[in-house]
Structure 1
Amino acid sequence: MAVVAQKYHFITGLPRSGSTLLSALLLQNPRFHAGMTSPVGILVNNLITHFGAGTELGSMLSQPQRQRLVRGVFDAYYADKSDKQVIFDTNRSWSASMPLLAEQFPEAKVIACVRNVAWVMDSLERRFRANPYEITRLFGDGVERNTVYSRVETLGQRNRLVGYPWTALKEAFYGEYASRLLIIDYDLLAQAPQKVMPLLYSFIDEPLFDHDFEAVSYEAAQFDAALGVHGLHTVRSKVELQKRRTVLPPDLFAQFNELAFWQNQDGSAASVITIKPTTGC
């Protein structure tokens, strides 16, 4: 029997925006493998760093050899998933690696989960407050973690948890490979998954699957404990949008409330599944 080559697609986007929920839903399909952030992106970036220009290995490797080495990371990591026809690898760095993905996987699509950035910050702040006996690895020192203002502003820096994926996604959204990109807004995924999932299947050219939105399961307790932020990757069994008041001060909420660049699709070839954002805090 001939072995069917696996297809790869990629999940990226902002933290606290539904990527774990989306992976949990995709896992219901027996043909698919998906999960929370994998180490593949880090391994690939480290590999490229070691054979790039100016390194000891740089002159030893041809371009085809570099390509095979990078592809080998994917094949080795997912070797035990040979029973799955479609692999979804999750990493926030993929938004900044669109040229590499396009070369390695010409048919691959990139799915980016997004959310109003103010509510991303609200969600992370809630997780911080829910773990009062942890210092959490999200912050480097007491100066960064001492108040909600320092915490949120730290996370928003362009090399940190929220700022980096936001800038990387903006690069992809307006870049030359944007037609490979599908933006999924968390609010719509949580509110109407029965409408969002068929659109995703159409985008990746896969037959529809009957998902159960009342019995979703996913958690990564050990990973979250290592970060000092318990519950960060726990998915509720029922997919629904839970409305609440923000815990952020009004001025801080307003600072991040207007950063949803994907709401304006002028100048981008990306596909976007979203609803108009609600206002207020």
Structure 2
Amino acid sequence: MLSKLLKYELRASGRILLPVYALLLASAGCCSLFYKLAADHPYRTGAASVLMGLLNVAFWIFVVATGAITALLMIYRFYKNYMTDEGYLMFTLPVNRHQLIWAKLLSALIYTAASAVAVTLSILLVLLPIADWSGFWGDLGELLSSITESLHFGVPGPLLLLWIAVLAILTVFSGFLMVYAAIALGHSFSNHKILLSVVFFIAFSLAMQAAGLTFFSYQLTIGETVIESGGSADLLLDGTRFLVIDSIETLVACGVFYTLTWYNLQKRLNLQ
């Protein structure tokens, strides 16, 4: 049943997001074409310069809008399907609350990844006629190698990429789960549901920032202690240690927000 829920979610969201991707790529194509014409004909009129500037502004508006629309649509569909009158229908389906939550999470992950790919492709398309691609991949490889060496990652490159990919997925999950938990908590009350949802979201955001700063300060304190005792300063640039801490923090956040979302959908949801 989860596959049917996910298929429904992908179709419903795709009706909005696929045209957004098409507009984004179309605007990128227009910018790329004008950059190509400008490179071939450097002596252009003032009107052409103004038009190119407007197209450039429109493109970056589409880039920002793509990310914003993706996030807002995923949040709105959770709210609309589970917190409004549609909730009466959704909660009568022969599925449990876990399947309902995972349908939203997987849909959000897929469209977040799709939006990232669309934005990346559109930027590459804009840069295609003006960038020097001859040594791009070699320079990129050298940059990644230097970053890996400077941060002292103690794991092989393929494993590091896999680790970062999994952490990125968990980060997407934790972000949406934080919003879902805030909405579910806010709608467990009888009055001021949306206002309380916003309050809970702000509280969760502040708590996450405080936890992150606490962990970071703790790691700096440990590093300073080691240096003062004659140890190596490389500890402060131990990328693997920071990845482990970030992974643990993100996993804990996912667990807490998922539990809050499930519990309030299962036990305390008030659709009145």
Q: Same fold (TM over 0.5)?
A: no
Higher fraction of strand = 1
From the CA coordinates, give the structure whose radius of gyration is larger: 2
Hey, which of these two has a bigger chunk of helix by percent?
2
Normalized against structure 2, the TM-score is what?
0.25
